[in-house]
Chains A and B, each alone.
Chain A
Amino acid sequence: MSKIDLNNISHSYNPNDPNPVYALNPFSMTWENGKRYAILGPSGCGKTTMLNIVSGLVRPSAGNILFDDKDVTDLKTESRNIAQVFQFPVIYNTMSVYENLAFPLKCRDFSQSKIDERVKSVADTLNLQSFLNSPARKLTADQKQLISLGRGLVREDVAAVLMDEPLTVIDPDLKFRLRRKLKEINEEFKTTLVYVTHDQNEAMTFADNIIVMSEGEVVQAGTPKELFERPNTTFVGYFIGSPAMNLFETEASSNDSVKINDTIIKTNTNLTNLKDKKIKLGVRSEFIKIADNQKENLIDVDVDKVEDLGNYKLLTAKMGNFTIKSKINRETEVPSSNVKLHIPAEKCCVYENEKLI
């Protein structure tokens, strides 16, 4: 359990090349003790590289890592006291489940009684008690992943538990329970958990803080609410939320409003310096509603389709070349013509060069 500081970390797998390709562009970040973090991003965006740098499997090309203000950049993996769980179950085939769970403690010379106690407790948490004496290789894939997870959680004093899409192979019901379990463990033991995923729901429900990455770059780090309401870039707006954020290519028409087709949309952003520049307006489909008695920020649309998705309806509408999606209540009836949608000014995000203003 430590505070982890990443200072100006960057990494390239071919640093000596004249044109090195960076798997991870320089970034700095602090992971507070006892919090839950999710690293979210598409495949190949540098998530795993980031974890491997923290666990010491990869030495960063530049920058340094501090655990509780102590520089560990040159410390080997085995001396860092970190736990890491990989995407696919990694078990020690020749050992029993008990021996697998006890291995991290044995390697660190814990006493037998302490090992017993910890293994029992972790096995209880993960429902593995009845398998403790079976050979680990005889278990099913998700039980094996539980062992991997258990090995990550068996030490109480780890600096952090890093998990690289650990629940991919686990079936949905168990996945849900495990995620809750991990939250409980975090709350009870104040273990710093770092969770890599490409599933935004997983990230949103699990983490206090989400780090969104794209092409080796940390695009935005913040609470789920911040990421949802004020995405830093159009990528975050697109990647987080389902459906993705509505984006309109447009230009500023006055100090605070933009023009979509011929309609003026007011925003709460100061656009004085952006007149006649290409900008994008982003609004979450959750915030766009069918207008009842609003006077401003209304757009006329043609309804394309309405899909009933169980707990809400998804309205897809056309306005010239633009497609607009809006999440509306199931009970709301959608008129077939003359539909006006309301875009609230305070929920408008304006992007220049894909970055939030």
Chain B
Amino acid sequence: MGKLYKFLKYSFITIWTVFVVAPFLWALTTSFKDFNSVNGGATYIPWVDFEPKLEGWKVLIKSPANGGVDIIEPYFNSLFVTCTASLISIVLGTLSAYALSRFTFKAGFVKNNDITFFFISQRIMPPIVLSIPFFLFLGAINLLDSLIGLIVVYIVLLMPIAVWIMVDFFNKVPREIDETALIDGCNPYQAFFKVVLPNSVPGLIVAGMFCIIFGWIDFFFAFILTFTEVQLLPVKIVALNSSITPWWSLSASALVSVAPLIIVAFIVERYLSKGNLSGAIK
């Protein structure tokens, strides 16, 4: 029984690992291939099956004048927009989530749960519904094709995620923690910043991770709200494609675009495995 279980367990882990890692390895080898190595049948091992070339990578950093595509600027644009929008969403989202979790609001038939649902409903709605309003809105305030405009739009997209995760998280942080802080002599703001917030770091990390992922991978709004002045990475990568698909540079750009998420995943995994996400009291 024990042996069979072990065998099945490790077989499953192996298969799963191959399943997850293979596309990355494929992209990695492809990024070093040239036209002939890609189109002349499947090749696998560098130096044996094909001669590695740096062409796929070089194109990414060359300026368009020299026949490249220059993804460096879009890369930093993406980083900047994602991080700023995530940060603002987390700050606003956490504050509203705390309010929704701890205080009772009532305006006619609208109560706390309805407000929370209103936030979440922004994510349930198909994004395309928002495209025309956003376009007209940004146009009206002269923020089309600008980083600030994108940040504003991304906050609308990301804050519901932060509110949703944090409301749930705060609901699980017992009220006694806040009450104890009050009894110990904090005012409600100190209770929030000194006691509740430090206890909520795991929730903040999860919410932050989701915001970063959803912000980073967004193509749709980046595509319709920017033109020439500002470009974000996903749009730029799609623009790499042409009648002859450049698999090598597409692979290379896919790898660099996924790199930040992998780094985030590793950091969060460290944190998760420390057990810091376990219950705050009892």
Tell me if B183 and A83 are in contact (CB < 8 A). yes
Tell me if A89 and B180 are in contact (CB < 8 A). no
Residue of B nearest to A151 (CB): B184
Question: A: which residues have CB within 8 A of B?
Answer: 55-57, 76-78, 81-84, 86, 88-94, 103-104, 107-108, 141, 144, 148, 151
Across the interface, A90 reaches (CB within 8 A) one of B177, B186, B190, B198, namely: B177
Cα(A107)–Cα(B193), bound, Å:
13
| 9 nearest CB pairs, A to B | A107-B185, A104-B184, A94-B198, A77-B182, A90-B176, A90-B180, A108-B185, A84-B183, A86-B176
Residues from chain B with a CB closer than 8 A to the CB of A141 are 282
Residues from chain B with a CB closer than 8 A to the CB of A76 are 182, 187
Residues from chain A with a CB closer than 8 A to the CB of B176 are 86, 88, 90
Residue of B nearest to A55 (CB): B183
The verdict on B195 contacting chain A, using a C-beta distance below 8 Å, is yes
22 example contacts (A-B, Cβ-Cβ < 8 A) are as follows A57-B179, A57-B182, A76-B182, A77-B182, A77-B183, A78-B182, A78-B185, A78-B187, A81-B185, A82-B183, A83-B183, A89-B282, A90-B174, A90-B176, A92-B195, A93-B198, A93-B281, A103-B184, A104-B183, A108-B185, A144-B281, A148-B180
The verdict on B249 contacting chain A, using a C-beta distance below 8 Å, is no
Most chain A beta-carbon contacts within 10 A, residue among B184, B198, B281: B184
Cα(A92)–Cα(B191), bound, Å:
11
Tell me if A94 and B199 are in contact (CB < 8 A). yes
Across the interface, B186 reaches (CB within 8 A) one of A55, A56, A107, namely: A107
Name the distance in Å between A5's Cβ and chain B's nearest Cβ.
Answer: 20
Name the distance in Å between B39's Cβ and chain A's nearest Cβ.
Answer: 57
Cα(A89)–Cα(B198), bound, Å:
18
Residues from chain A with a CB closer than 8 A to the CB of B183 are 55, 57, 77-78, 82-84, 104
The verdict on B280 contacting chain A, using a C-beta distance below 8 Å, is yes
Residue of B nearest to A94 (CB): B198
* Contacts beyond the supplied A86-B179, A93-B199, A107-B186: 11 A-B pairs with Cβ under 8 Å: A57-B179, A77-B179, A81-B185, A84-B179, A88-B281, A90-B180, A94-B201, A103-B184, A104-B185, A107-B184, A151-B180
Given contacts A94-B199, A107-B190, are A86 and B282 in contact (CB under 8 A)?
Answer: no
Cα(A77)–Cα(B186), bound, Å:
9
